């Protein structure tokens, strides 16, 4: 059985190496949580689904920059900030 990688390890693998498996693991780990949390902010389920997809697309394409050295950097908070900004823009 393989060892579970930390969020930082996954994000480094995605951003530095374009590691598809790391991206898939990150998506499985956070997409359900992010979707549920975004739905408490917006009743339009289709819009929330679009925002979550756009958030992970930004991570994959590297347009959202992960800075592990930033104070208090955590993947959940970082993904939440990306998604919430995209939701505001969409509204």
pLDDT digits (tens, 9 = 90+) for 5-62: 888 888 888 888 889 999 999 999 999 999 999 999 999 999 999 999 999 999 888 7
Give the per-residue pLDDT at 43.
94
The answer, yes or no, to whether residue 2 has pLDDT greater than 70, is: no
Give the per-residue pLDDT at 1.
47
Q: What is the CB-side half-sphere exposure of residue 19 using CA atoms within 13 A? A: 15
Give the per-residue pLDDT at 68.
61
Secondary structure letter of residue 62 according to DSSP? T
Q: What is the Cα–Cα distance from 41 to 68, expressed in whole angstroms?
A: 27
Check if the beta carbon of residue 69 is closer than 8 Å to that of residue 2.
no
pLDDT digits (tens, 9 = 90+) for 63-80: 666 666 554 568 888 899
């Amino acid at each position: 059985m393989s060892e579970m990688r930390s969020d930082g390890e996954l994000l480094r693998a995605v951003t530095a190496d374009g590691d598809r498996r790391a991206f898939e693991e990150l998506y499985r780990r956070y997409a359900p949580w992010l979707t549920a949390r975004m739905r408490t902010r917006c009743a339009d389920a289709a819009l929330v689904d679009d925002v979550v997809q756009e958030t992970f697309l930004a991570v994959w394409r590297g347009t959202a920059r992960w800075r592990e050295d930033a104070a208090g950097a955590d993947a959940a908070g970082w993904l939440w900030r990306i998604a919430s900004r995209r939701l505001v823009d969409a509204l």
